[in-house]
Amino acid sequence: MKSAAGLLLAAALCLDAGVCATAQAAVVDEARLLLLNHDSDKALQLLTPHLEKQPKDYEALFLLGLAQTQQHRDKEAMAVYARLIKEQPQWPEPYNNLAALLARSGELLKARALLESAAAREPGYTKLQRNLADIYLLQAQDALSKARGAPGSDLVLEARLQLLSELTGRSVAAAGATPAVATAIPGETRVQPVSLIAPVPVLAQPDPSEWHGLLLDLLRNWRDAQLKQDAARFTALYDARYQPAAKTTHEAWASAESERLAQRKLGGLTIENLQLKIAPQGRAEARFELLALGEDGQTQRTPRRLGFALQEGRWLISSDDGAARH
């Protein structure tokens, strides 16, 4: 089956072919970068008019749901994910995110049914399995809370409740509570918004199966930022601890890059002969040839090597052997 991660990989393969990103892909890339920086306002400003013109750009539609999720506009985001499930049923991510929002609103049975259905279709997508396990824990906590105080309750039940409370982040109901206490009060959020389920697959810790596509996506952003002379976007792709030389600070490097990009106008920039190696410890390396087309029509081919590190759920550039050649 083709997942959203697979779509990212398919889109990013234009790196090897040397095809520049289309306007549609550029919108998706920019919106994704904005969401990684938690700037959902700007992402919505970019995505809304784009989707009015391209209503079937499903990658952009998925990002719209993520932006709405970041802003806790849950009803709107749920409608987006429901539409994606209907029109792109092979994607596991919309199932995951809709279930997360249902759980956040206390609809555990609906969330469980959705996750079980998606997990049966896509057993290799581990986020579904993890979130399904969280739903089971919450339901077990509810069941034990209803049994609390009833005849036959004992210290074993209390110990289990305490353990479930630590696992789910929800407090145990007061001693002697009736079964009704475990039922959500209308309008009450029973699930912790962040600690239980992270409904944003792109921003959460990515699965190893997604790493290849995410790294190709990062390389496209790295290339496009240089073409557009966008220094802020370019330097944001590097680890904050990155420095090209021992005596150069990250801040000094970022300032120099801003000046370099402002002065360097390119007619094209292509990544060719890409070799990408990924280590299971959250490290990766890309070797490729960078073909730069100047405004005068002259081309320059340079071998490059970039190192990557997974930092708090996001791939960043940790080393760049071409920095010294700028």
188-211 tens-digit pLDDT: 222 222 223 333 333 344 566 678
- What's the distance, CA 151 to chain centroid? 47
Q: Is the dihedral of CA 6, 7, 9, 10 positive or negative?
A: positive
* Residue 215, CA distances (Å) to 124, 200, 202, 207, 212 in order: 20, 18, 12, 12, 5
Q: Which residues are CB-contacts of 31 (< 8 A; sequence separation ≥ 6)? A: 43, 46, 47, 60, 63, 67
pLDDT of residue 239 exceeding 50, the answer is yes
Which pLDDT value is given to residue 92? 83
Q: Which residues are CB-contacts of 220 (< 8 A; sequence separation ≥ 6)? A: 11, 12, 14, 15, 21, 25, 29
Measured distance CA(217)–CA(259) in Å, rounded: 25
Nearest to 274 by CA among 260, 262, 290: 290
Nearest to 216 by CA among 24, 2, 4, 11: 11
How does pLDDT run across 134-171, given as a tens digit for each residue? 888 777 777 777 766 655 556 666 666 676 666 655 55
How does pLDDT run across 45-104, given as a tens digit for each residue? 999 999 999 898 888 898 899 899 888 899 999 999 999 999 988 888 888 888 888 888
| CA quadruple 271, 275, 205, 65: dihedral, nearest 10 | 40
Measured distance CA(300)–CA(55) in Å, rounded: 39
Which one has a higher pLDDT value, 128 or 315? 315
Phi, psi of 279 (to 5 degrees): -100, 145
Which pLDDT value is given to residue 182? 18
* Residue 77, CA distances (Å) to 31, 100, 104, 280, 289 in order: 16, 11, 13, 33, 41
The C-alpha angle with vertex 39 and arms to 243 and 192, in degrees rounded to 5, equals: 105
Pairing status of strand 283-294 against strand 299-311: antiparallel
Neighbours of 179 (CB within 10 A): 15
Count of residues for the chain? 326
* Residue 14 near residue 21, CB atoms below 8 Å: yes
Which pLDDT value is given to residue 44? 93
Q: Which residues of 247-266 are buried (b: 16+ CB within 10 A; e: fewer)?
A: eeeeeebbeebbeebeeeeb
pLDDT band at 117 (very low <50, low <70, confident <90, very high): confident
Which amino acid does the sequence have at 233? R
Report the range of poorest mean pLDDT among 6-20, 90-104, 253-267, 309-323.
6-20
* Residue 275 near residue 286, CB atoms below 8 Å: yes
Measured distance CA(4)–CA(149) in Å, rounded: 47
How does pLDDT run across 280-295, given as a tens digit for each residue? 778 899 999 988 887 7
Which pLDDT value is given to residue 199? 38
pLDDT of residue 305 exceeding 70, the answer is yes
Q: Which residues are CB-contacts of 10 (< 8 A; sequence separation ≥ 6)? A: none
Measured distance CA(21)–CA(27) in Å, rounded: 10
Which pLDDT value is given to residue 187? 27
Percent of the chain with pLDDT over 70: 71
Which pLDDT value is given to residue 142? 75
Which pLDDT value is given to residue 151? 57
Give me the residues paired with residue 270 across strands. 291
Report the range of poorest mean pLDDT among 102-106, 193-197, 230-234, 296-300.
193-197
Extract the tokens encoding 197.
């389920």
* Residue 143 near residue 152, CB atoms below 8 Å: no
- Which residue has tokens 């801040």? 251
Which pLDDT value is given to residue 227? 87
Q: Which residues are CB-contacts of 137 (< 8 A; sequence separation ≥ 6)? A: 164, 167, 168
Structure pTM? Answer: 0.47
Q: CB-hemisphere CA count at 13 Å for 55?
A: 3
